[in-house]
Structure 1
Amino acid sequence: MSLVDDRGVAVTLTQSPRRIVSMLPSLTETVCALDACERLVGVDTWSNWPAAAQSLPSVGGLEDANVERIVALKPDLVLLAKSARVTDRLEALGLKVLTLEPRSMKDMERVLGQLGRVLDREAEAVALWQQLDTSMDRVAAALPAGARGKRVYFEAGSGPYAASASSFIGETLARLGAINVVTGALGPFPKLSPEFVVRADPQVIMVGDRNAVALAARPGWERIDAVKSGRICVFTPAQGDVLARPGPRMAEGAGIMADCLKDKFK
């Protein structure tokens, strides 16, 4: 088979791979959700779901991939993010590389279909996407009217980096009837100035526990509606993993965000 990856490179496979190294948690989770977890022989540092992934050899991350360890695992395919620095080196060593980095729901559907082809699980991929889509609709339908139409700021990382309306997180918020204060025109995950958020004045702030500690101490943030009203949802590391990965747990992530909105606007 031949397919074009996220670099725009045509990748040809003579057979469905049996030994796969996955260097992105969302791809690890998707491979396992397509009932091909047994084909994984190595994963990146952050791949911690499902439980089967935790027992696999760790080969580092985007910035510190252990090339020697990857080669030693003798993979017939390495799944990488487009932003990975090690792609050219792995290809130079003769390894087959496929870069896939979903950033929107449309990307997720496409990547799921591509992995379905690669793994000879095309029917399963279609069924999984339909299940995800239906489950997210179900979560949205259960959200009370009083929790809809709220201005939300979702902080995706220190910087601060936000999840804009064009990211899969922003698209999930839109399905929940929320108004993302960061427009999609800025890119899926733009780096913002703290003043931007002050001017946007969100009614709800969603943030991981690592970034929440000094939130109120940021200059001017005490004037933000969400801070004044205490409408800040702080996610645990486990919840943060679910929310940050465009994969088979996206409906669970929608549920986490819906619970936040329901709690803050009872």
Structure 2
Amino acid sequence: MSRTRRLTPATLLLPLVLALAACSGDAPAAGGAATATTTSADGGAFPVTVTGDDGELTLEQRPEAIVSLSASATEMLFAIGAGDQVEAVDSTSNHPAEAPTTDLSAFTPNAEAIAAYSPDLVVLSDDMNGIVDALDALAVPTLLLGAADTLDDSYAQLETLGEATGHAEGAAEVITDMQERIDAAVASVPAEAQGMRVYHELDPSFFSTTSDTFVGSVYTLLGLENIADGAADAAGGYPQLSAEYVVGQAPGLIVLADTVCCQQTAETVAQRPAFDTVPAVQEGRVLEADDDIASRWGPRVADFAESVAAALQG
């Protein structure tokens, strides 16, 4: 059952709220109280109610001090035009460059450390260590948006963040751009590449990702067959394969999502025992992807789809 959390302005802001109501022409009904409605520069009206994984959240005013504890959410916030409202982001939020990265941890979050930034909205992708309840106890509003499983999930999160921050139009523009670019990438895949087997590498110990994950859904959209789907133990979508299994599956495309963390390259892959027999290595279709772009469900998934499509064309 979802929780409804309504955030009301502090008493000290009441005169300002009433003044805004007067300026907007909203008059109280006979015997009733005035209702303040504010509008953001992007056309979003407040108060607004949005729904996250932790229930409904009503924001009376546009948040002006946002803390993001999700690297994907950080990218989304800046893409839709809410960057100026972001006060602090967690230590993994390294894009865009202007994001106010701090030492806040998304993996071991501390409610008091987060509250020290006086946020009027905290965006998270995980409820680690009961952080949502801890922030609720401090009257800090939270919006939990978990990892996306599909592109539609990503679009839905952009819409939610757009509504919550007063940038609904900006979010709609980002979604349209993503959809158009991804559609073009899909259309560019040559017919002979349809059904090609792909191996997505998360690290050199052969952890991979199946079609049930967000990245896996992109491969499905591009018409590829994911070799991780046949693993004996799918491990929640992230199975550990073996070198023998990968070689035996003879993927025509290898995507390395461990180029930054583990310095893997097309050259290091080619040097692995028996990998010189793999079609992807023989035909030069080893994509050296950026670890972050290949793992986050923000706007740069369009970059990822385009890079995979380009590798298939080559």
Supply the distance in 2 between the matched residues of 1:232 and 1:62 (Cα, whole angstroms).
35
Offset at residue 62 of structure 1 (A): 2.4
Contact 1:164–1:183 (CA under 8 A) maintained in structure 2: yes
If the length of structure 2 is used for normalisation, what is the TM-score? 0.71
TM-score, L = length of structure 1: 0.82
Post-superposition shift, 1:36?
0.9
* Separation (CA, whole Å) in 2 of partners of 1:159 and 1:10: 41
Runs of 5+ unmatched residues, structure 1: none
- Residue by residue over 1:200-248, the C-alpha shift from the partner in whole angstroms, topping out at 9 and shown as x without a partner, is 4423221122173776788x86497347637562525xx2222211111
Between the two proteins, the alignment pairs up a number of residues equal to 257
Question: Is it true that 1:97 corresponds to 2:142 in the alignment?
Answer: yes
5 Å-filtered alignment, 1:147-158, equals 147-157=193-203
CA contact (8 A) 1:2 1:12 kept: yes
Distance 1:123 1:184, change over 3 A: farther
8 Å CA contact 1:151, 1:204 repeated in 2 = yes
Q: Which residue is equivalent to 1:249?
A: 300
2:286 corresponds to which letter in structure 1?
A: C
Residue in structure 2 matched with residue 5 of structure 1 by the alignment: 52
Give 2:294's aligned amino acid.
L
1:167 matched to 2:213: yes
The Cα of 1:12 is off from its aligned counterpart by 2.6
2:138 partner letter: L
Superposition deviation, residue 154 in structure 1: 0.9
Q: 1:51 aligns with which of 97, 115, 121?
A: 97
In structure 2, the gaps of 5 or more residues are: 1-47
Contact (CA 8 Å) 1:242, 1:252: kept in 2 or not?
yes
Deviation at 1:146, TM superposition (A): 3.6
**Counterpart-to-counterpart distance in 2, 1:57 and 1:174:** 34
Contact 1:203 1:226 in 2 (8 A): yes
Aligned residue type for 1:189: G
Q: What amino acid sits opposite 1:251 in the alignment?
A: A
C-alpha separation between the residues in 2 aligned to 1:4 and 1:211? 40
The equivalent position to 1:212 in structure 2, one of 234, 250, 264, is 264
Larger gyration radius, structure 1 or structure 2: 2
> Which of 255, 261, 265 is the aligned partner of 2:312?
261
How large is the Cα RMSD of the aligned pairs? 2.9
Counterpart position of 1:69: 113
Q: Using a 3 Å threshold, how does the CA distance of structure 1 residues 84 and 261 change in structure 2: closer, same or farther?
A: farther
The answer on 1:202 being equivalent to 2:247 is no
Residue number among 180, 189, 206 corresponding to 2:237 in the alignment? 189
SS in 2 for 1:103: coil
Structure 1 CA distance for aligned equivalents of residues 66 and 106 of structure 2:
17
- Structure 1 residue 141: Cα displacement: 2.1
One-letter code aligned to 2:264:
A
Identity %: 28
Give me the whole-angstrom Cα distance separating, in 2, the residues matched to 1:61 and 1:32. Answer: 20
| Per-residue deviation, residues 150-170 of structure 1 (Å, max 9, x unmatched) | 100112346643222132322
Between the aligned partners of 2:187 and 2:270, the Cα distance in structure 1 is 33
1:2-43 CA distance string (max 9 Å, x none): 333124x23232222111001111101111111110000001
| Paired AA for residue 142 in structure 1 | S
Instruction: Give 1:45 deviation, angstroms.
Output: 1.2
Q: For residue 212 of structure 1, what is the amino acid of its counterpart?
A: Q
